[in-house]
Amino acid sequence: MKLFLTIDLEDWYNAHDYAIPKESWDECQSRVEKNTIELLNLLSKYDVKAVFFVLGYIAKRHPELVKDISERGHEIASHGYWHDKLYDLNKDELKSDLKMSLQHLEGITDKKVRYYRAPSWTYDKRSEYLHDILKGEGILVDSSVQPFWTPLSGITGASFEPYYPVINEKKSRVLEFPVPVYKIGPLKIPFCGGFYFRLMPYWFIDFCLKDTLKRRDCFVYIHPWEIDSEQPKPRVSLLMKFIHNYGIKGNKRKLERLLKNYKFSDPKKFGIGELTDDEYKLTE
């Protein structure tokens, strides 16, 4: 089975934990370039290539960073433009957000974007029109389903395996690559990224990953701000402060252990196998 590394390229103030209005983003201290370069250098050390799900807003502010990521051989994918929750957008708004994202990403790399991930995994039955929009823009793989429920997102009962969803009695042509979880009896335990990766001890992540890879493809995900203990800390509830900051100090070391101990697959094969040259060409 294949293991992939994915990076959701956004800055600390884009996270829903802090709920900072997008109108204030330009005034926030930007730390994404420093943190991303630190991650890129770490990946180079272990010769690992990743799928970078890049927020369109970040691509507009840091085009040279996105260009550098692409030129280092990593795969550029879309994370939307504004990091809005999908279920807060109607179909036209979601389509516009995706198009803006693709315009910036493809304009920087001159390569067709083929992968998408919803902000904060906020794809569910309220936003099932996502798959039609993705297909219309040439997206081949979506990685937006969280197969367990949280107050923010998730679809209870969703497949753990990559699958083609049936929406309105029609099979989607866009593959869904859900967040990996480990099942123990009735429990579904997320372990592969974000807060869960920071929360779990390495031995448990290692155990879950090895066992999961016996049965299906898997991925790990991280945000650049998750290795930055010196980022600003706005006043928020104790719960949100805990969720956003817990485990950040040791997170880079934990990621490095994975890079050292596991073989990561070519990001061009994320979910579907290697893309052809024609599939990379931009539509004239």
Which H or E element spans position 131?
Answer: helix 130-136
Per DSSP, 74 falls in state: P
Would you state the structure tokens that stand for residue 7, as one six-digit string? 């990076």
Q: Is 223 helix (H, G, I), strand (E, B) or coil?
A: coil
Res 283: pLDDT? 41
Give CA–CA dist 170/157, Å, rounded. 19
**Which pTM does this prediction carry?**
0.94
Which residues face 85 on adjacent strands?
A: none
Amino acid at site 222: I
Domains and CATH numbers, the chain: 3-275 (3.20.20.370)
Q: Give the model confidence (pLDDT) of 40-59 as tens digits.
A: 999 999 999 999 999 999 99
Q: pLDDT digit of tens for each residue in the chain (284 aa)?
A: 999 999 999 999 999 999 999 999 999 999 999 999 999 999 999 999 999 999 999 999 999 999 999 999 999 999 999 999 999 999 999 999 999 999 999 999 999 999 999 999 999 999 999 999 999 999 999 999 999 988 888 898 899 999 999 998 899 999 999 999 999 988 899 999 999 999 999 999 999 999 999 999 999 999 999 999 999 999 999 999 999 999 999 999 999 999 999 999 999 999 886 555 555 454 43
- Per-residue CA distances from 98 to 1, 17, 139, 155, 171 (Å): 31, 22, 10, 22, 22
Contact 115, 143 (CB under 8 A): yes
Return the closest-CA partner of residue 80 out of 130, 12, 35, 148.
Answer: 130
- What is the reported pLDDT for 151? 84
The H or E element that residue 194 is part of is helix 194-199
C-alpha 151, offset from chain centre: 19
Distance between terminal CA atoms of the chain? 36
pLDDT of residue 276: 54
Q: Give the model confidence (pLDDT) of 88-138 as tens digits.
A: 999 999 999 999 999 999 999 999 999 999 999 999 999 999 999 999 999
Helix, coil or strand: residue 254: helix
Q: Distance (Å, rounded) from C-alpha 247 to C-alpha 227? A: 9
**Residue 284 burial (CB count, 10 A):** 3
Q: Which residue's structure tokens are 């294949």?
A: 2
pLDDT of 149: 87
